[in-house]
Structure formats: C-alpha cells, structure tokens
C-alpha cells in the first residue's frame, strides 16, 4: 500500500466538509477503515481500477473541433428510452412541516443533455436538486438516477454524481490544491491519481496559478470555479450545478459556460438551476419552469419562446391611451413592465407604424424575444423572497 502524505487533519476535515455538503445524510459518509465498495457500492471507484485513459484526460485534451451536443427533445429520444434516461421523477413530492416545497412533479433527464430548472425564489428548484443528489429524502413519489432509487441506494447514487452547490462550502484552512485532495478521499481515489486529476482540473478551470493559495484569498468567481473542479474530481456521469454563476462578473460567467459546454461535448449529463435566462438559453437543451413547487411549463428554450410570446418584442412607453387601444384590439399580446409596454409580435414594425398614426410615440425598441419574456409571462413580476 502507498505511504500516505496527506496533510494533517484531513480525516477530520473531510467529515466536516461532508456534513456541510450533505447535512441531512451525514451518517452515510465513509468512516476510516471501511473499504471503498462499502462506501459507494461501485467497483469503478475501488482503488486500482482506474482505466488508462480517463474521461478527464479526454476532456482536458478536447478541442473546439469535437463538435456540439445535439438538442434532445421528446420527439428525438432514442428508441430504447429506458437506457437513455439519466434521471427520472414521477410524482416527486417534498414537504417540510406541512409546507409543500415540491408538489408531485414528473420529469426525465436524458443522458448527455444539459437540462435546466428555471423559476423564482422558492419555486422548489434547489429542493429538487437536493433530492437528486441525496442531500434531502423525498416525502413521496419515485426518483431514479440511472435506474437506481436514490433513497434505497444513496451511496451508489452519490458515486455517479458531482455536485456544485449554491452555497460556498470549501475548507478555508486548506489551499486550492489541498481542497481537491481532501475531497478525493471520499471516493478512495489513490493519492497519485488524485494529485494528477487535481492538477488537470485546476488547469481546466483556469486556477493553475492559484494552486497553493488559501481559500480566503480567492475571489468569488475563483471559488465557483474551484467548486466546479471539485465536482468533477470523481469523474461523475452526472454533474448538478445549483446557480453556478450567481454573483459572478461577465468574464467569470463566460469562462464557466465555456467549461460546461466542453463537458457536454464529452457526454456528461448536466443538470443546472439558474435565474439567468441568457445562461439557460445558451446551455440548456431542454428545461422546465417551476413555480410554487409545480412544473408549469417545459420544452426547449426556443420552443417556449415561440409558444408563449413571439419572435419579436416591441417596447414603447406605457401610455394609458395606447393600453386602451391594445386592449380593444384583443389580438395583441402585451405586458406592462416598469413603465413600458412589451408587445409580443412577429410584425413589430407594422404595429409601431400603425400606433404612430394616432399616438406620439417618441421612443421605441424592437428586439428579439427571449426566455426572460417567457419567464415573466409564466411566473409574474412580483418579488419573491
């Protein structure tokens, strides 16, 4: 057996990290002296099994010429759908002291796609994510990850999933590199393999120059990137990201988007929650919109735009006379948002010219419709805490 060179305090630290990552299932963590298969029940994570060419090596050697992932819709699902499902929920429900956080929802995530959860605060997105990665047991319903029931096989499920949580839960007393090494011990990854993977992942998330810096000296964007690297350390088949770019500047956000697109090209299944509509439109093959614990709509980003709004949006000042005229027409779809009218139409120039015949419209904007327009129409504009 290899001699250990782990920094002192690793065994104590990893239990603390686990308890913060999985607060409701802290007893399921591996204890010293137990074998790897007892922790996860997956021979792929037993020391010494690792293949000569790993998914991580393929990932770090990939280039933009590797192509883009295809968009998977229900109509395009492979014939043998059961073998193509990464996550399946039927009647999934979660209650907290009588409060229904997730209300009997159904969805399927296909292998290799990027699947998004959209919704205002309190919609049930994060709670759904926690049930998938075994941080919170379901109240009722069915939830399978690669055909395994998550409550019956929590260890096996965790072995298949990498998690980038909404909260920052890195160990502040360790360096960037040693945070990854400490986390690798949950999976009994051999020391030399863990070190090699950590080096490659730091390069992958552009943190190689911060290798020996302590966590407290990192910016928010760097911490998010390190959490992504940590989620990839066990070479998971599924990566779950809960609002991965919240609070980041545009440069850091785009870097993470680029890395997620590389993962998707390698066939990794990505499940993310986000409140950035641009992020969902760019990354997601399919998505669902949640509100008050229910799924209120689902589809591809483009199909939702076409269904609920239109191809274009005309924005003009919200004058009472114009609103009355649009209401009389009946056929015009519009919203009043922040003192402006958003008129959804495939012929914005024609409508604008017609309105200008009877109203003094001095300022107008014509733009493409976006997921944000869909989001407001489905969930409203009231502030959610």
Domain boundaries, the chain: 37-300, 310-368
In Å, how far from its chain's centre is CA 152? 24
Tell me what pLDDT residue 337 has. Answer: 86
**For helices 176-184 and 220-232, angle between their N-to-C axes, nearest 10 degrees:** 30
Query: Could you check whether 37-300 and 310-368 share the same CATH topology?
Result: no
Tell me what pLDDT residue 21 has. Answer: 45
Tell me what pLDDT residue 11 has. Answer: 52
Question: Cα torsion at 246, 249, 253, 254 (round to 10°)?
Answer: 160
Tell me what pLDDT residue 217 has. Answer: 94
Tell me what pLDDT residue 64 has. Answer: 33
Query: Which uninterrupted H or E stretch holds 191?
Result: helix 191-204
Tell me what pLDDT residue 86 has. Answer: 96
Q: Answer yes or no: pTM beyond 0.85.
A: no
Domain made up of 310-368: CATH architecture: 2-Layer Sandwich (3.30)
| Residue stretches of the chain with pLDDT short of 50 | 1-6, 10, 14, 17-18, 20-79
Burial of 45 (0-12, 13-18, 19+ CB in 10 A): buried
Q: At 76, phi and psi to the nearest 5? A: -100, 5
**Strand pairing partners for 294?**
291
Dist CA 218 CA 209 (whole Å): 11
Digit-coded pLDDT (tens) for 229-243? 999 999 999 999 999
What CATH code is assigned to 37-300? 3.40.50.300
Tell me what pLDDT residue 385 has. Answer: 56
Tell me what pLDDT residue 382 has. Answer: 65
Q: E strands, 32-150, where?
A: 85-96, 99-110, 114-118, 140-145, 148-149
Place of tokens 């495939």: 346
Tell me what pLDDT residue 243 has. Answer: 92
Dist CA 284 CA 271 (whole Å): 9
How many C-beta neighbours within 10 Å does residue 142 have?
13
Q: Three-state DSSP class for 195?
A: helix
Report how far apart, in Å, the C-alpha atoms of 29 and of each of 17, 20, 26, 33 are: 10, 12, 6, 12
Dist CA 276 CA 287 (whole Å): 13
Tell me what pLDDT residue 81 has. Answer: 61
Tell me what pLDDT residue 178 has. Answer: 96
Query: What are the tokens at 35?
Result: 């074998």
Tell me what pLDDT residue 3 has. Answer: 41
Digit-coded pLDDT (tens) for 276-298? 999 999 999 999 999 999 999 99
| DSSP structural state of residue 214 | B
Tell me what pLDDT residue 208 has. Answer: 95
Burial of 274 (0-12, 13-18, 19+ CB in 10 A): buried
Dist CA 337 CA 316 (whole Å): 10
**Strand pairing partners for 315?**
342, 365
Q: At 105, phi and psi to the nearest 5? A: -95, 155
Dist CA 8 CA 305 (whole Å): 54
Diameter over CA atoms, the chain: 85
């Amino acid at each position: 057996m290899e001699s250990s060179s782990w920094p002192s305090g690793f065994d104590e630290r990893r239990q603390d990290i686990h308890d913060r990552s999985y607060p409701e299932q802290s007893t399921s963590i591996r204890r010293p002296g137990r074998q790897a298969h007892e922790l996860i029940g997956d021979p792929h994570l037993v020391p010494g099994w690792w293949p000569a060419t790993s998914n991580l090596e393929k990932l770090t050697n990939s280039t933009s010429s590797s192509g883009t992932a295809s968009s998977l819709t229900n109509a395009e699902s492979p014939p043998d759908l059961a073998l193509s499902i990464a996550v399946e929920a039927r009647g999934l429900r979660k209650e907290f002291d009588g409060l229904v956080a997730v209300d009997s929802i159904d969805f399927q995530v296909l292998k290799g796609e990027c699947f998004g959860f959209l919704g205002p605060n309190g919609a049930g997105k994060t709670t759904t994510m926690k049930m998938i990665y075994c941080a919170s047991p379901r109240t009722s319903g069915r939830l399978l990850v690669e055909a395994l029931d998550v409550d019956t096989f929590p260890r096996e499920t965790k072995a298949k999933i990498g998690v980038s949580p909404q909260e920052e839960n890195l160990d502040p007393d360790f360096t960037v590199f040693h945070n990854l090494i400490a986390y690798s011990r949950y999976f009994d990854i051999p020391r030399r393999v863990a070190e090699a993977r950590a080096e490659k992942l730091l390069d992958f998330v552009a943190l190689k120059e911060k290798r020996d810096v302590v966590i407290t000296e990192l910016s928010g964007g760097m911490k998010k990137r390190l959490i992504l690297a940590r989620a990839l350390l066990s070479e998971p088949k599924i990566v779950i990201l809960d609002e991965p770019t919240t609070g980041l500047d545009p440069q850091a956000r785009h870097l993470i988007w680029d890395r997620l697109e590389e993962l998707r090209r390698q066939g990794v299944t990505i499940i993310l929650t986000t409140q950035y509509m641009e992020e969902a439109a760019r990354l997601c093959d399919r998505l669902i919109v949640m509100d008050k614990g229910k799924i209120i709509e689902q589809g591809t980003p483009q199909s939702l735009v076409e269904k609920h709004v239109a191809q274009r949006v005309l924005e003009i000042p919200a004058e009472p006379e114009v609103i009355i005229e649009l209401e009389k027409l009946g056929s015009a779809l519009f919203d009043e948002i922040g003192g402006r009218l958003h008129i959804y139409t495939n012929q914005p120039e024609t409508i604008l010219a017609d309105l200008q015949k009877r109203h003094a419209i001095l300022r107008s904007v014509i733009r493409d419709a976006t997921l944000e327009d869909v989001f407001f129409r489905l969930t409203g504009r009231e502030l959610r805490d």
